Amino acid sequence: MARPVLILFVLVTVGALLAGCGSGEPESPFPERPAEIDVSTVDLCRALTAEEQAELGVEPGRARTGELSNGPTRICGWSNFDDGNGYGVQTIADGAVVAVGGEDTTVDVIDGYGVVLATVYGESAPLCNIYVDVSDAESIRVQVQATQGDAGGIPSFETVCGRARALTSKVLRNLAAVTP
């Protein structure tokens, strides 16, 4: 009888020690945010100025709402049918940290905000998603997709993600300026 009690005591003690080692929230992979952006109230179609829309060759953005597996989302999208690039800004009802560690993702920083870059569809229509850490509970996803190739063929992820990085800088600057 003493042996099962001893085994139980050892298991409980080791379990308690291990639980103590892992207590607390995991450390964020992102730096401290320059400012929080309240994605629940900001007009996403104000993410690009009229001048920036002209530079991209797009008309004013088209606002939509939708439902993701984690909750409601708001989207503003712009398309350039001449060069085949599509641009979008979307609210996500989770912090950007949930995108960390996914397939084909990289953690980085843009304009002081922690981001996760995620790429898909490289063989056909490269899409670069950038999840921006704008608050603990929500994030913004900035997207650029090349829907047609140029004379050189399908653009590389490096090219598409370069466009997405530039777009993300504009989005952060513009949305931070209109956030109360």
With contact defined as beta carbons under 8 Å apart, do 155 and 83 qualify? no
Confidence tier at 77 by pLDDT (50, 70, 90): very high
pLDDT band at 82 (very low <50, low <70, confident <90, very high): confident
- Would you say 84 and 99 are in contact if contact means Cβ atoms under 8 Å apart? no
Summarised one tens digit per residue, pLDDT across range 18-65 is 334 444 455 789 999 999 888 888 899 999 999 999 999 999 999 999
Residue 91 within any structural domain of the chain: yes
79: Cα within 13 Å, side-chain hemisphere:
6
* Contact between 58 and 79 (Cβ < 8 Å): yes
| 16 falls within a domain | no
Q: Say if 154 falls within a structural domain.
A: yes
What's the N-to-C CA distance of the chain in angstroms? 67
The structure tokens 């103590």 sit at 20
**Confidence band (pLDDT; 50, 70, 90) for 3?**
very low
Q: Does pLDDT of 139 surpass 70? A: yes
Q: Is residue 2 part of a domain?
A: no
Q: Which residue has the higher pLDDT, 172 or 6?
A: 172
pTM of the model: 0.82
| 20 falls within a domain | no
Contact 115, 130 (CB under 8 A): yes
Give the residue carrying structure tokens 């397939």. Answer: 103
CATH code for the domain in which residue 56 is found: 3.40.1000
**pLDDT value of position 151:** 64
Contact present, 156 and 101 (Cβ < 8 Å): no
Question: Would 102 be classed as within a structural domain?
Answer: yes
Residue 26 per-residue DSSP state: P
**pLDDT over 80 at 135, yes or no:** yes
How many separate domains does the chain show? 1
Q: What is the mean pLDDT of the chain?
A: 83
Average pLDDT over residues 99-118: 94
Is 39 part of a structural domain of the chain? no
Q: Give the pLDDT confidence score for residue 149 in this predicted structure.
A: 66
Give the range of the structural domain holding residue 167, as residue numbers without chain letter. Answer: 44-178
Joined together, the tokens standing for residue 51 give 């001048």
Q: Report which residue type is found at 63.
A: A
| Residue at 4 is within a domain | no
How many Å apart are CA 87 and CA 171, to the nearest integer? Answer: 11
